[in-house]
Amino acid sequence: MLEAVKKIGELSLKERKESFAFSLIEEGIDFGSEENKKYILTLNFDLQEEKIHLDFEEIDYKKLQKYLWIGNAKSNNPQDRLTTNNVSYLLYQTIPNLYHNLKEGDLKDKLQSILEKFFLKLGQKSVYLLNLEKIEGSNIKVEEILQNFPHDFKKVKDFVEKIYEKEFYEILKNKDLSNNDFSLYSVKIDGLAPSELQEYIDYIEEKLIGEPFEDSSFEGTCYVCGKKTLITADTTKLPDKYYITKLVTFASGLDKKGFSKNFAICKDCYKELMAGSSYIRNNLSQRLAGRDLYLIPSIMFSPKEDYTLKDIVGVSKSSFNAIKSFEGKLEFQNTIEKNLVNYTKYKEIGSYSNINLLFFEKNQSAFKIKKLIKDIPLRRLDEIRKAQNDTQNITKKLFGESASRWFFISLDQIYYLIPVRIDKKSKRAVDYKKMLDLYEDLFVGRKINKNFLINEFLELFQVYRFEKFAQFNILKPKDSDIEMVFAILKTNFLLKMFSLLHILNGGEKMIEGVDDLPLREEIKNYWKEMNFSEQEAALFLLGYLIGEVGNKQRTGESNKKPILEKINYQGMNLKRIILLSNEIFEKLDQYKVRDFNEVNFAIMKRFMDKNISNWSISDSENVYWILSGYAFNTYKVITSKKEEKNEQ
Amino acid sequence: MDLLIFDVIGKMAHFRKYYTNSSSLSYYFPPRTALTGLIAGIIGMQRDTYYEIFSSNKTRIAISIKTPLRKIIQTVNYVWAEIPDELNLSKGQHTQIPVEIVIPDSFEENIRYRVFFSHEDRKILDKVCFVVKDQKFVYPPYLGISEFTAKIEFVDYVNSIHEEHGKTTLDSILNIKYLDNGALEPSYDSLYIKEMTPFEFDKERNLINSPAYFIVEVKSGKITVQLNKPYYKVLHRKGEENILFME
């Protein structure tokens, strides 16, 4: 993984051909929407007029570069970035810190003037505070506010954030501006933005790369590129901290000096790793299964042609998104499959590159890896895409063109077919591991246990049936009964897709001579497409008959289907299935639908009796196939009613 | 060349990737540094005393994976100690570390790595052979961390191996430098993983040489490939294997 991050960094630095600092631009900032645009507010220090002019510009990527937005200083480091998303830093910390850290030069002189002309020096510890009276158009009386200035140095932060910052917002208010309009705040000095202040750019680069080498570098072999040069074990400036040097327990010999024997890197690799991480964060962040994820392309072999990073990333992203969502699939079709140049590029790049999926959780500076699915060949994504398309074609055949979109089994969709428990307080998924393991099995082509899936599906159906939405990752729908029907059929298609990919354990021999059975064509087609065994088909038909009774019950006075209470979602053994089939026979009579279903009942009974002595389906699976038949019947009724309405 | 062949067997393994610790990822196989550590341990060499003895110009080691593997992540409580004095848990704090663990794909099985070991010093080779055959380990073997204890099973001791050329199906892991572009044959059921591992330390435990890139196939352990250097055919009591040393 590290080598992939480094490679991305190397290409990113090579292709951008500008100062290293610009490769660290953070794009994850709120740009707002068309109706509600976000802006960057600048405090322009005019040294001649001794006034601060407030300007604002609409945020876009170019502005992020202009103002060199690379995030705030991390952890407890002093804030020294001229562009920030927290205006309080500009009111008291940034300028004094930057002035203190800068080497002698023009910028340092200017900052000294700024401190003298625009800041107030307060308290015993000489805290600098921006003089709000210096802002053009301000009618603030600072003296009055400062009556509350704390004597205790530790309380200054609170004072600035809770009192002084509000006064600053008052000035904005008087100018018909609101702090909600701004995502970023920055500084100009005599009209020059941070990207125009070379000394500031040099400072940032030195700060990020130079510091780790200042005191703790030594001659050795770089643990990344293998060069014998000056290396450092101080990795604190690397983002995404899955390697730390804070705890002595990780150091060789339980001595912090031992970190130099664990992992030490040269300046070039340091830069490339930082640039790579920044690029990945900005361009390759994704969400899947309610979790954060980096999609990291890696190159298994050197490419024959010099493809750019944009090419490689573009191909990796398109292939992944094509299986992730229906929209991604459409985009893939339009931009890659229908474009010969792009398709050739896609095939070429796909032959030597892989992707890594890094699921993680980030909490302030802590970075915890939840799962790494490594080196997935792009051809595997092709195979998955093909299986998705083939499954979609089956749904088209069975339920028509318009329904096929609803039954498209994307990666996103799979997440909603496996119930994941959500912690009520934190709203985070608790048992997410099974989900990530399932994705891994899919990506690497490992066998998946069918019983595991069936049990998960039954739990899902219970979420719908008993409305347990608050505890799970399933959103409460308008009509739980109907959504359950959709969910059941989707799980059928998920099984189908997995079986097309040959990753499903188990599976019985399918029924012979389906075409000769005196059943409705739609049922026979479903069985054929889904490769049902006789046992599965018997249960499916039993479920179908339950659907017949249920439909009658729902169209009666009540909107409910009491027949569904006969189903035990924990599983039903064969004895109970036989009892249920007898009960259904009576119900068909009771609701006067026996005449239409005698053949269905007879075939169900025939298959059941034939297999009764060698019944191989588990109790859970029995219920699953009954529910599948029920869902199939109900879906047909719902759609035929819709069609009738449309015709009228 | 005389070659000792033995299997290292266990239920779980963790070979930490050196650039991860607060989330500890694992290689699928023990890198060369871990293997020399394991061999040094079973013959009773002290920590940090054996790097030169098992240097790459004196020792040849190859490894093959004999069981399909997978990985899981489990969160483990580690002691929180910023200084050695806090190792006695005096801070009363712990830290939760996600640890990637290698396990066999099927829970009924064990992980089984096959090690091919040769050393220019006959005495060392004999000593390793003796402890492996007689199961008289000075320090008990384990798979990466001491919690994951391992068994060692003697397979064979062979006196000659045959150099072969051309396209082959390798049973061992493979250094990527012996591979030309496009020379790796993918198959529907293969899963190739490329890993960057440390290769060798000097006597002070500082890295020497570049980290090496190895390719491993984690489902069957077999890699069908056209190599740009000769490989070795090894005939032993349990069959025939094509290997490349980690060098």
Q: What pLDDT shows up at residue A81?
A: 94
Question: Under an 8 A CB cutoff, do B22 and A372 touch?
Answer: no
Q: How far is CA B235 from CA A457, B77, B240, in A?
A: 50, 45, 4
Sequence length of chain B is: 247
pLDDT tens per residue across span A458-494: 999 999 999 999 899 999 998 888 899 999 999 999 9
pLDDT tens per residue across span A509-542: 677 788 888 888 899 999 988 888 889 999 999 9
Residues of B in contact with A239 (CB under 8 A): none
Q: What pLDDT shows up at residue A122?
A: 82
Q: What pLDDT shows up at residue A303?
A: 60
Q: Helix or strand or coil: residue B128?
A: helix
Kindly compute the dihedral angle of the four CA atoms of residues A226, A231, A236, A239, in this order, to the nearest 10 degrees. -40
Residues 6+ apart with CB under 8 A from A645: none
Amino acid, res. A324 = K
Q: Give the separation between CA A456 and CA A446, rounded to whole angstroms.
A: 18
Tokens of B22: 């607060």
**CA closest to A503 among chain B residues:** B189
pLDDT band at B182, cuts 50/70/90? low
pLDDT band at A187, cuts 50/70/90? very high
Residues 215-244 of B with CB under 8 A from A: 219
Selecting from A223, A248, A444 the residue whose C-beta is nearest the C-beta of B191 gives: A444
Q: Give the separation between CA A487 and CA A462, rounded to whole angstroms.
A: 11
Average pLDDT rounded to a whole number, residues B68-77: 94
Q: Mean of the per-residue pLDDT values for chain A? A: 88
Bigger pLDDT: A628 vs A24: A628
Question: Under an 8 A CB cutoff, do B73 and A252 touch?
Answer: no
pLDDT at A27 over 80: no
pLDDT at B101 over 60: yes
Give Cα A325 to chain centroid, integer Å. Answer: 12
pLDDT at B189 over 90: no
pLDDT at B10 over 60: yes
Number of H helices, E strands in chain B: 2, 19
Q: Which of A462, A461, A532 is nearest to A495 (CA)?
A: A532
Tokens of A58: 């609409």
Q: Give the separation between CA A532 and CA A512, rounded to whole angstroms.
A: 10
Average pLDDT rounded to a whole number, residues B101-117: 95
pLDDT at A506 over 70: no
pLDDT at A508 over 70: no
Tokens of A462: 């219970």
CB of A640 within 8 A of CB of A564?
A: no
Q: What pLDDT shows up at residue A648?
A: 56
Average pLDDT rounded to a whole number, residues A392-413: 90
Average pLDDT rounded to a whole number, residues A382-403: 92
**CA closest to A437 among chain B residues:** B72
- Give me the sign of the Cα torsion angle A101, A106, A110, A115: positive
Q: Give the separation between CA A579 and CA A303, rounded to whole angstroms.
A: 65
Average pLDDT rounded to a whole number, residues B173-187: 79
pLDDT at A387 over 70: yes
> Which DSSP category does A134 fall into?
G
Q: What proportion of chain B, given as a percentage, has pLDDT over 70?
A: 98
Among A243, A246, A370, A376, the residue to mutate for chain B (most B Cβ within 10 A): A243
Residues 102-141 of B with CB under 8 A from A: 105
Q: What pLDDT shows up at residue A360?
A: 94
Residues of A in contact with B16 (CB under 8 A): none
Among A236, A300, A359, the residue to mutate for chain B (most B Cβ within 10 A): A300
For A409, how many CA atoms within 13 A lie in the half-sphere containing its CB?
31
Q: What pLDDT shows up at residue A352?
A: 76
Among B47, B71, B73, the residue to mutate for chain A (most A Cβ within 10 A): B73
**CA closest to B189 among chain A residues:** A445
Residues of A in contact with B206 (CB under 8 A): 220-221, 260-261
Q: Give the separation between CA A210 and CA A76, rounded to whole angstroms.
A: 19
Average pLDDT rounded to a whole number, residues A75-102: 90
Residues of B in contact with A256 (CB under 8 A): 83
pLDDT tens per residue across span A133-162: 899 888 888 888 888 888 777 888 888 888
- pTM higher than 0.90, yes or no? no
Helix (H) or strand (E) holding A345: helix A340-350
pLDDT at B73 over 80: yes
Bigger pLDDT: A257 vs A561: A257
Burial class (CB in 10 A: 0-12, 13-18, 19+), A638: middle
Question: Under an 8 A CB cutoff, do B73 and A375 touch?
Answer: no
pLDDT band at A241, cuts 50/70/90? confident
Q: What pLDDT shows up at residue B181?
A: 63
Sequence length of chain A is: 648
Q: How many C-beta atoms surround the C-beta of residue A451 within 10 A?
A: 14
Q: Give the separation between CA A601 and CA A617, rounded to whole angstroms.
A: 20
Q: Is B56's Cβ below 8 Å from some Cβ in A?
A: no
Q: Give CA angle at B38 (B32, B42), nearest 5°.
A: 150
Tokens of A336: 């890659």
Q: Is B89's Cβ below 8 Å from some Cβ in A?
A: no
Write the ipTM. 0.93
Residues 353-412 of A with CB under 8 A from B: 354, 360, 366-372, 374-375, 377, 379
Average pLDDT rounded to a whole number, residues A251-258: 89
Q: What pLDDT shows up at residue B117?
A: 97
CB of B63 within 8 A of CB of B197?
A: no
One-character DSSP codes across A39-91: EEEEEEEETTTTEEEEEEEE--HHHHHHTT---PPPTTSPP--SSBS-HHHHH
Size of interface A-B (CB pairs under 8 A): 126
Selecting from A1, A226, A246 the residue whose C-beta is nearest the C-beta of B209 gives: A226
Q: Give the separation between CA A269 and CA A274, rounded to whole angstroms.
A: 8
